[in-house]
Amino acid sequence: AGAAELVRDGVSGHVLAPDDTAGMAAAMTRLAREPAYWAGMAEAARADAAHGDVARFVAGVRACLSSDSNPDR
């Protein structure tokens, strides 16, 4: 499991490559400049979490954190 399996890109969050600093900056800028976009994304993430399988979500987060692509591991 990875972030793409936990987050609906552009709906409940953003899925970016670990080295995509330009993409991260663009996503953060849009979130900061468009409160309605941020609020809609936050609501979608809450809805996904409320309807999701908590155990599967936790397992996915753990997999993301322990993956070979995580430099902080």
Residue 2 contacts residue 69 (beta carbons within 8 Å): no
At 36-46, the pLDDT tens digits run: 999 999 999 88
9 Cβ contact partners less than 8 Å away, ≥ 6 residues apart = 15
The verdict on pTM exceeding 0.75 is: no
Listed range (1-5, 9-13, 54-58) with the worst mean pLDDT:
1-5
Residue 2 — pLDDT band, cuts 50, 70, 90? Answer: low
